[in-house]
Chains A and B, each alone.
Chain A
Amino acid sequence: MADVLKKVPVREQDPKVRATNFDEVCLGYNKDEAVEEAQRCLGCKKAKCMEGCPVQIHIPDFIGAVKEGDFAKAYSVISESSALPAICGRVCPQESQCEGRCIRGIKGEAVSIGKLERFVADWAREQGIKPAAPAEKNGKKVAVIGSGPAGLTCAGDLAKLGYDVTIFEALHKAGGVLVYGIPEFRLPKDGVVLPEVENVKSLGVKIETDVIIGKSVTIDELMENEGFDAVFIGSGAGLPKFMGIPGETACGVFSANEFLTRNNLMKAFDEKYDTPIFHGKKVAVVGGGNVAMDAARTALRLGAEVHIIYRRSEEELPARKEEVHHAKEEGIIFDLLTNPVEILEDENDWVKGIRCVRMELGEPDASGRRRPVEVEGSEFDIDVDTVIMSLGTSPNPLISSTTKGLEINKRKCIVAAEDTGATSKAGVFAGGDAVTGAATVILAMGAGKEAAKGIHEYLSQK
């Protein structure tokens, strides 16, 4: 009999093997494992876990159905609250959300809610279960800008309500960060993301790629000339930050976005594709979030020795626990309490090293985390030929600067009401990273849902 205090282990690719390929790391539960894990759920009346889920999936109900082997029912319970369960089950930071609140977690390990959600969603996809057919068209047109989780969810919900929805996407492929940022080994593109996009299309949503709102056409033009009654902005937070230290424009210094886009969207790891990527021998990734882990593990798979350079300690790493754990298993070296001060260049302006200082943790700062302070005289160099900056991103000003009357805040985020997504401009709604700054898939999805409701209410009154 398995230990009820522990999760049913999930099968994964062996770290040594997976460090050399881009296939998915986690293989997920099979039916028996899923049912066994579901048995661990106590089916709490006041389910704490639900409080931790930003879209309040009815967790005890869906897990209860899994327990009984009724996966179709489990899927329909999840679908009431989430449009992208195969994705969220894979990438949600469960340990700080649903699983973080699970009663089971007090004495032992929390129920594997994410893995169960993923199992149910994968099962439904394999069965060919599609979202409910759209209602009759109501003749009203809505434009959705951006095809990330916020845009896809908003578009899907509006189509179900009968709206004529067109998504405009700047890149050549739909999916937002799900296709250009998060790597294949965490979130398979053809296997998982594409079917989700196809589901949205099957509801009647049109997707026009290669259109940059603010450049190809503006929001005002969409509303005035193309007959859109409302607009949802889900343009994300794609603008990468750099540190501003000497040497940062040297050859061999990349933003994580560039490195990941070359590899994920442009598939540079595959010889058949024309886009090049630099195969470093020794790579430093600066930062400690999910993006840093993804860049590091990608560089590792391209054959490099990889160092993560992060100025606080392991406890403060903002990445999901699972990512850090996987990265370590694969052989990523963590240089913690370390901060870069300069990138060293050779005579051809190529990176030859990174100069760092050691840090120690002082008093807590405004974010509640202990502030790292420099240890005097602790400068040292690490030899590397590549540096990947992964310091976070902010919203791109392209839309806000070309739309009349759209209010933004100091951080360049679009100001929008939390419950409806309404912005300062009539008929224009927004949500996801464009409003909150870089956050999570599930929050973006939740915002897309709220905005769909907000738009429906707005257009119903009009």
Chain B
Amino acid sequence: MFKIVKAEQLSANVYKKVVLAPRVAASCQPGQFIIVRLDETGERIPLTICDYDREAGTVTIVFQPIGVSTSKMVDLKEGDYFLDFVGPLGRPSELVTDDFEEVKKKKVIFIAGGVGTAPVYPQAKWLHDHGVECDIIIGARSKDILIMEEEMSKVGNLYLCTDDGSYGFKGVGTAMLEKLVSEGHHYDLCVAIGPMIMMKFACLTTKKLGIPTIVSMNPIMVDGTGMCGACRVVVGDEVKFACVDGPEFDGHKIDFDQAMKRAAMYKTEEGRRMLAYKEGKTHHGGCGNCGGDK
């Protein structure tokens, strides 16, 4: 059992939990993820590590409720427990593992999309703590779902954008990047993390601008230890397991269209479960489709 020591709502639709998990906190690095399971009937949900405190033994996760499992997670309060919390999984970000003398020379721009802001944070923070300056673009649909502005502003030069112009630059993150480059900024590396579609467009832009780009893939996973192959992604002409070979890959080599199709593989099944969950006992059945009346 893993105790939730702090639970917080960050925006209209984004939640944060700080979890006591000493083994994970002792060994995790930016770029890695964990898997949680709520209860005995729960599924294994992969979530990126957003922060960690080695002394307190805690790990922070930030998530957006989209289906049954993440919706159930919203209700967990301070003092509640996750049944399982395993990690760290995946490989640390190359910024952390590569030769620091090389990393130091690089000018890095992060592009964070929506809830993807959270996983960008530990990487930017790591650079900041090691005396390396970086730029960060945070993009969100509108002001009320933009998260972590304050923390982020402490670890990098922040550029905010909203699709509807309700805050900061009006437009998507990639438009902001193009603007920065046209104003004379130079970048050696871009790290783009967010929804698959956002990473796809970020990669199209950085390819045009000639900026090498790392993305963090979030395919469907089961075990997260390399045992099932559910997380297969096509990188160049190779098939990789995102949970052990990634989750970060060279974004210019990823087949995003295929990755998006694979991510939707259980859409019908998930939708059915979500409907049953939302309607709960009021679910009357009779449609004969969802199995809820069986």
Contact = CB atoms under 8 A, between A and B. Distances in A.
A32 B86 CA distance: 48
A276 B227 contact: no
B212 interface: no
Nearest to B269: A276
B225 A238 contact: yes
B43 A172 contact: no
Nearest to A273: B41
A255 B229 contact: yes
Nearest to B88: A215
B234 interface: yes
Nearest to B90: A215
9 contacts: A172-B84, A215-B88, A216-B87, A254-B229, A254-B230, A255-B229, A257-B227, A258-B229, A277-B269
3 closest A-B pairs by beta carbon, nearest first, are A258-B228, A210-B86, A276-B269
Interface string A237-271: 01110100000110110110110011000110001
A348 B267 CA distance: 13
A22 to B, nearest CB: 16
B270 A212 contact: no
A233 to B, nearest CB: 15
Contact size range, B: 35 or more
Contacts of B228: 240, 255, 257-258, 261
A266 B86 CA distance: 16
Nearest to B267: A276
Interface string A268-303: 000111111110000000000000000000000000
A217 interface: yes
A249 B232 contact: yes
B222 A239 contact: no
Given A240-B228, A249-B262, 20 more contacts: A171-B225, A172-B44, A172-B86, A212-B89, A216-B27, A240-B229, A251-B261, A251-B264, A251-B265, A255-B228, A257-B227, A257-B229, A258-B222, A261-B227, A266-B44, A274-B68, A276-B269, A278-B265, A349-B261, A349-B262
Interface in B43-86: 43-44, 68-69, 83-86
Contact of B266 (A180, A278, A398): A278
B52 to A, nearest CB: 13
Nearest to A225: B26
Nearest to A252: B265
B133 interface: no
Q: Which of B43, B86, B258 has the most CB of A within 10 A?
A: B86
The binding surface of chain B is classed by DSSP as mixed
Interface in B194-249: 222-223, 225-230, 232, 234, 239, 244
B89 A274 contact: no
Contacts of B264: 251
A211 interface: yes
Q: Which of A170, A212, A238, A240 has the most CB of B within 10 A?
A: A212
Interface in A343-364: 348-349
A162 to B, nearest CB: 27
Interface string A174-214: 00000010000000000000000000000000000111100
A216 B88 contact: yes
Contacts of B266: 276, 278
Contacts of B85: 210
B273 to A, nearest CB: 7
A249 B234 contact: yes
Contacts of B43: 266, 273-276
B269 A274 contact: no
A187 B222 CA distance: 22
B179 interface: no
Given A211-B86, A398-B244, A216 B24 contact: yes
A114 to B, nearest CB: 28
Interface string B150-162: 0000000000000
Contacts of A272: 41
B23 interface: yes
A172 to B, nearest CB: 4
B229 A172 contact: no
B261 A348 contact: yes
Contacts of A79: none
